[in-house]
């Protein structure tokens, strides 16, 4: 049976209601948000709700394109489940179900295409349920039982544009654009400046960014096979510090991340003593900021260097110069894709992209990737103009892609 066949979609009524299902990680939310913005741009009369997990809901708070967020309290659910508090765990799921079924929607859009998003789509009340071909080109884990999958038109489409196929199926050709923005409030901006001040960094008052161009490094990834060796990141950090840049190490925090970045501090202790002020220009931002505050910090930087991760997608979508380091995953489908100021580096090995979380031969695609290649690409990006916008409380890459 062809589950991707083209099916006629009825026209949405005026002032219709849409439910977006993307529980997600950070990157999933970032890659889906352009579709939500495009729907609202094409049909301002539509009201859009979004089902999302608490770990990345921060990005969607007070977003002008959303009516409301339906929050899955995943952290609380998992904690109670581990403590065998079955009744309280079930109550969280029942509360979520009630919120989902409270409204009769005109369309439900599953941008995740997995069992968990499929079940939520199945629970929602709507005559029309569409699913994205997503990362693997098809809905997985039985999610197709609950939604009609939109056909994948080209296998080389980036994930942002794969999601955009759902928008075009729903609203017609030309309805999708790649605009991306999130709101950042004045208090959030002030807090970022306060944290930078606590690090002892002098600020450029006109630009609101640290004096001495800021390079941000995010050396983390959810899969072990996506992590470039931390010793190489340390070499990159030392290179830019010796050139006079400020370098910030960003991450969500936690013991594992703090242990992982230990070699950066250790290696920097061996830096040439003749290079003054280096330690004053290095700072760690691990768990010190919310997602939106971290996003605003990215817009103050000249370049973000990162493993394939959620912050990589966020940085690129904000219009910031972004250099992504790829191993087993595919930069064509999943790499930074918001203009020439975004780039990725990878080795051309016969075994990649394998999309594997574990490697039987030792992740050679990252272990063998040399530091000088990453530095050379970073230097190339630094001379290119960025696409950052900061207007009316919104930050992101918007307007430039409105005609795509």
Per-residue pLDDT of the chain (404 residues; tens, 9 = 90+): 344 445 567 789 999 999 999 998 899 999 999 999 999 999 999 999 999 999 889 999 999 999 999 999 998 999 999 999 999 999 999 999 999 999 999 999 999 988 898 999 999 999 999 999 887 778 888 888 899 999 888 888 999 999 999 999 999 988 998 999 999 999 999 999 999 988 888 777 666 677 668 999 999 888 888 889 999 999 999 999 989 899 999 998 888 888 888 888 776 666 554 555 667 788 999 999 999 999 999 999 999 999 999 999 999 999 999 999 998 788 888 889 888 899 999 888 777 776 677 767 777 778 889 999 999 999 999 999 998 888 889 999 876 434 33
Domain final residue, candidates 156, 177, 198: 177
Tell me, what CATH number does 106's domain have? 3.40.50.2000
Domain final residue, candidates 146, 162, 177: 177
127 and 204, same structural domain?
A: no
306 and 250, same structural domain?
A: yes
For 104, the domain range is: 17-177
154 and 200, same structural domain?
A: no
253 and 204, same structural domain?
A: yes
283 and 199, same structural domain?
A: yes
Domain final residue, candidates 159, 177, 195: 177
320 and 336, same structural domain?
A: yes
Quick one: which of 378, 338, 388 has its CA closest to 245?
378
Residue 224 C-beta-side C-alpha neighbours within 13 Å: 7
371: enclosing H helix or E strand: helix 371-382
As a whole number of angstroms, the distance between CA 141 and CA 369 comes to 34
233 and 136, same structural domain?
A: no
272 belongs to a structural domain:
yes
pTM tops 0.95: no
Q: CA of 19: how far to CAs of 114, 170, 399, in Å?
A: 16, 13, 25
Contacts of 86 (CB under 8 A, 6+ apart): none
| DSSP symbols for 255-287 | HHHHHHTHHHHHHHTTS-TTSTTTGGGEEEEES
Residue 50 C-beta-side C-alpha neighbours within 13 Å: 29
293 and 205, same structural domain?
A: yes
200 and 149, same structural domain?
A: no
Structural domain total, the chain: 2
As a whole number of angstroms, the distance between CA 34 and CA 21 comes to 14
404 belongs to a structural domain:
no
266 and 358, same structural domain?
A: yes
Residue 120 sits at the vertex; the CA angle it makes with 337 and 19, to the nearest 5 degrees, is: 60
360 and 223, same structural domain?
A: yes
């Amino acid at each position: 049976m062809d589950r991707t066949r083209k099916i006629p979609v009825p026209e949405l009524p005026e002032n219709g209601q849409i439910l977006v299902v993307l529980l997600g990680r950070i990157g999933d939310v970032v890659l889906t948000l352009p579709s939500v913005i495009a729907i609202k741009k094409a049909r301002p009369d539509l009201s859009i709700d979004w089902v999302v997990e608490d770990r990345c809901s921060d990005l969607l708070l007070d977003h002008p394109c959303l009516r409301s967020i339906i929050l899955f309290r995943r952290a609380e659910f998992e904690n109670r489940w581990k403590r065998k508090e079955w009744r309280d765990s079930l109550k969280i799921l029942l509360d979520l179900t009630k919120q989902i079924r409270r409204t009769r929607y005109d369309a439900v859009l599953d941008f995740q295409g997995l069992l968990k998003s499929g079940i939520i789509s199945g629970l929602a009340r709507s005559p029309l349920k569409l699913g994205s071909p997503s990362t693997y080109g098809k809905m997985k884990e039985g999610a197709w039982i609950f939604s009609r999958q939109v056909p994948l038109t080209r296998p080389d489409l980036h994930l942002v544009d794969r999601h955009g196929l759902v928008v075009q199926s729903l609203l017609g050709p030309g309805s999708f654009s790649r605009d991306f923005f999130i709101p950042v409030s004045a208090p959030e901006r002030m807090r970022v400046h306060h944290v930078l001040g606590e690090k002892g960094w002098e600020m450029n008052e006109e630009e609101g960014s640290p004096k001495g161009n800021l390079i941000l490094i995010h050396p983390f990834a959810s899969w072990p096979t996506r992590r470039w060796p931390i010793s190489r990141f340390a070499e990159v950090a030392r290179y830019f510090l010796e050139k006079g840049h400020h370098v910030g190490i960003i991450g969500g925090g936690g013991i594992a991340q703090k242990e992982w970045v230990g070699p950066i501090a250790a290696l920097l202790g061996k830096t040439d003593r003749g290079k003054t002020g280096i330690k004053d220009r290095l700072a760690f931002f691990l768990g010190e900021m919310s997602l939106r505050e971290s996003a605003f910090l990215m817009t103050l930087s000249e370049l973000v260097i990162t493993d394939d991760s959620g912050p990589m997608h966020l940085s690129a979508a904000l219009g910031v110069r972004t250099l992504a380091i790829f191993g087993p995953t595919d930069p064509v489908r999943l790499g930074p894709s918001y203009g020439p100021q975004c780039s990725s580096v990878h080795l051309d090995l016969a075994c990649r992209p394998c999309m594997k979380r574990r490697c039987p031969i030792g992740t050679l695609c990252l272990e063998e990737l040399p530091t000088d290649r990453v530095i050379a690409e970073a230097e190339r990006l630094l001379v290119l103009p960025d696409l950052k916008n900061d207007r009316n409380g919104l930050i992101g890459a918007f307007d430039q892609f409105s005609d795509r």
